[in-house]
Structure formats: structure tokens, C-alpha cells
Amino acid sequence: MSYGFQNQPQGGVIHAQPQSSTNTIIVQQPGHFSQAPRDWSSSLFSCCEDIPICLCGFFLSPCLSMKVAQDMDEFVCLPCCVPAADLILRVKMRTQEHIPGSICNDCMIVWCCSCCALCQLAREVKFVKNKTNYAASTVRM
């Protein structure tokens, strides 16, 4: 009784070797490129470079902090809800723009010179926005 199976001859000759194939897949993130580290666009005590930011930072710092949060695509009321919002925003900016530094250094700057740190962050946001707008306008031409 064979049950539908055929007997295969033992010791058959193999005429070809099995072929192996190798596929290489390269995954690239669109629009992602490595950016070289750079310094802040202005120093911590360069408040006079932008007088409106300077005045707003010293006399209306909660308002400037909310504006910076909004410009950095964060919740506008973040500075009202989170005590260390300026520190968080500074670390975010430093990370996104590949600015050298450390969280410890950022913490000391924000704690010791909060108004100057906020003004520097606001100037940096403005610098990055201008740089981005310039890059976008040159691509459209």
C-alpha cells in the first residue's frame, strides 16, 4: 500500500548546488543630516544685542518665557505649570542645535542668571527661526 507516496531512489545525483542570495537594505531618514556642533549665537550677557528681548526678559520674564515655549513648539503655559521650564527649554535648544554644554552647566546658568539665560534663549530661538526662514526662501528660488 503506497498511500500516494512515491518511492525515491536512494543515492541520486545532484546536478546543481543550491543558490544563496544576499539582500542589503539601507534605511535612511528623510531630511535628516548630521550637524556640526556650534556655540550659542550670542553670549549669556549680550542682552543689549536685542533691546526688546532684554526689556521683556527683565520686566516681563513670565511673558517672554511663554513666548519662547510657544516658539519652540511647546505648550504656551509650560512655564506656568512646570517650575524648571526655562531649564527644560534651554536643554532642548542646546540638544536640537548641537550646542556643547551639560545639564549641570545649564542648571547653574538658569539658577544664577535666570533673566540673562532667558534672554539668551529668546535670542537663540530668533536666530534659529531666521536661519530656517532663510534656508526655506533660498530653496524656493
CB 99 within 8 A of CB 93: yes
Mean pLDDT (the chain) is 85
- Provide the whole-model pTM: 0.70
**Nearest by Cα to 63 from 48, 47, 52:** 52
pLDDT tens per residue, range 58-96? 999 999 999 999 999 999 999 999 989 999 999 999 999
- Per-position DSSP letters for 50-80, written without gaps between them: SHHHHHHHHH-HHHHHHHHHHHTTS-TTHHH
Q: CA 68, 69, 70 angle in degrees (round to 5)?
A: 90
Which residues does 3 contact at the CB level (< 8 Å), separation at least 6? none
Those residues whose C-beta lies under 8 Å from the C-beta of residue 18, and which sit 6 or more positions away, are none
Burial 32-52 (b: 16+ CB within 10 A, else e): eeeeeeeebbbeeeebeebee
For 77, residues 6+ apart whose C-beta sits below 8 A from its C-beta are: 66, 69
Least trusted range by pLDDT, from 30-44, 49-63, 76-90: 30-44
